[in-house]
Structures are given as C-alpha cells and as structure tokens.
C-alpha cells in the first residue's frame, strides 16, 4: 500500500502529472521537458526526481543526455492504465511536444 500512496502523491502535482503524461508519449530529456512545458530546469528536475522515487519513471544515459521514460514495470498497473485512458495532455503540450521533436531540441541545445 505504501508504494501506491507514493505513486498517488507523485501524480497529485499538476507539473508531475503533465511530465508523466508526456513521457507516456515517449522518452524525453530534461531540456526537452523544459522546452515543452516552458518551465525552469530546476522545477522539471525536481519533479522528475519525485516521479523516479515513486517508481513511475526510469532513466538511462545516452551519450551526454539522461533520457527519462515511463517505468515499464509500473506502466501496466491498473491505476496507471486508468490514468492513460482517462487523462489527456493539454492541447498546448501536444503541440509543444510535436514542435520539440520536429526541431530536434535535444541536439539543438546540446543539453545534459
């Protein structure tokens, strides 16, 4: 039950929920999330850390980048399935993620 409570707490914040919904669309680095959400890097990094501590997000290194993704072990959780079915990204986030991928923000900003 403790893991479920931690998951709910992690997703109870709008920024963290938006990040999680974005990661359901595919892997992203912090610089891409900063660009998509138009928020400070420190706020994004803090939110990603909380999602990771809750077991919702995993990361891997790819060259100089740390790439974040939805944890495949929790992605099939019934709560997460309901979340995926019931919640949609704001239209602006969808527009921004498309723009981010098209403009190859990760390479453009050489972020890490």
Tens-place pLDDT, residues 3-60: 888 888 999 999 999 999 999 989 999 999 999 999 999 999 999 999 999 999 999 9
% of the chain beyond a pLDDT of 90: 49
- What is the pTM (predicted TM-score) of this model? 0.86
List the domains of the chain with CATH numbers: 2-106 (1.10.10.10)
What is the distance between the alpha carbons of residues 69 and 60, in angstroms, rounded to a whole number?
8
> What are the angstrom distances between the C-alpha of 8 and each of 51, 94, 100?
10, 24, 28
Task: Convert the pLDDT of each residue in 85-97 to its tens digit.
Answer: 777 888 888 888 8
């Amino acid at each position: 039950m403790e893991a479920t409570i931690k998951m709910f707490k992690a997703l109870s914040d709008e920024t963290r929920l938006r990040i999680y919904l974005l990661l359901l669309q595919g892997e992203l680095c912090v610089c891409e999330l900063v660009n998509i959400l138009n928020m400070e890097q420190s706020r994004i990094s803090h939110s990603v850390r909380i999602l990771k501590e809750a077991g919702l997000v995993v990361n891997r290194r790819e060259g100089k980048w740390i790439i974040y993704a939805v944890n495949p072990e929790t992605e099939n959780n019934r709560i997460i399935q309901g979340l995926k079915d019931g919640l949609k990204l704001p239209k602006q986030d969808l527009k921004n993620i498309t723009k981010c991928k098209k403009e190859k923000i990760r390479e453009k900003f050489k972020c890490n």
